[in-house]
Amino acid sequence: MLSAIMKIKNLWSKFSEKEFRDAYSSHKIASDLSAQIYALREARNWTQYNLADRVGMKQPRISILENSCDNVSVETLRRVASALDVALSIKFVPFSQIVHDAATERLDRKIPSFSEDLSPINGSFKVNGSIDSGKSVGFLVVTQQSNHGARTRDFFANVSSSSRRIERKVYA
């Protein structure tokens, strides 16, 4: 743990310069996306040609994406995510989170596809929060208890007043 703390302190001291923060963040996004695209493709035993066909682009473009995702459009990332059957999450975060993630990042970039993630569902769901019967509730934090431990997922819940049944749609 001491090495992670030292990495955080070292990196944080460099973040005092805005130019460094911006360059580091940009590079981290591009390199992480590229590494994930490569790892996801390899985990599926697909060639670049297989992925390109599923995305609807040429193989050389996949090669470029796996080497650097600089200046890639969100639409392109959506298409790649759809082909790989994973969700794309883009969000704004404080620089402290980027520093922490960089210092504690694991090399395991395994991201299961939808079917690997939810099928079969082994376990029960516990809703964290209350649900008003008959109302459509936005995103709820739900904990899935399974053989692999607890995992948090976002669900859209629609509770029927007559059946008190929860219809779930998963948003990873």
pLDDT tens for 26-55 read 999 999 999 999 999 999 999 999 999 999
Residue 92, SS3? coil
Task: Give the angle subtended at the CA of 79 by the CAs of 58 and 101, to the nearest 5°.
Answer: 110
Look at residues 9, 10, 86 and name the one whose alpha carbon lies nearest to residue 43. 86
Asked if residues 99 and 8 have their Cβ atoms less than 8 Å apart, the reply is yes
Q: What is the pLDDT of residue 26?
A: 93
As a whole number of angstroms, the distance between CA 167 and CA 157 comes to 6
pLDDT tens for 117-150 read 754 444 444 444 444 444 444 433 444 444 444 4
- Cβ-proximal residues to 64 (8 Å cutoff; 6+ apart), any chain: none
Residue 94, SS3? coil
Residue 6 binned pLDDT confidence (cut-offs 50, 70, 90): confident
With pLDDT > 90 as the criterion, what percentage of the chain qualifies?
44
pLDDT over threshold 80, residue 171:
no
Ordered domains of the chain (ranges, CATH): 2-111 (1.10.260.40), 120-171 (no CATH)
Query: Mean pLDDT score of the chain, rounded to an integer?
Result: 74
- Higher pLDDT: 156 or 60? It is 60
Please give the span between the terminal C-alpha atoms of the chain, in angstroms, as a whole number: 30
pTM: 0.63
pLDDT tens for 100-123 read 888 777 645 567 777 777 544 444
Give the mean model confidence (pLDDT) for residues 76-104: 91
Q: What is the pLDDT of residue 120?
A: 44
Residue 2 binned pLDDT confidence (cut-offs 50, 70, 90): low
- Cβ-proximal residues to 6 (8 Å cutoff; 6+ apart), any chain: none
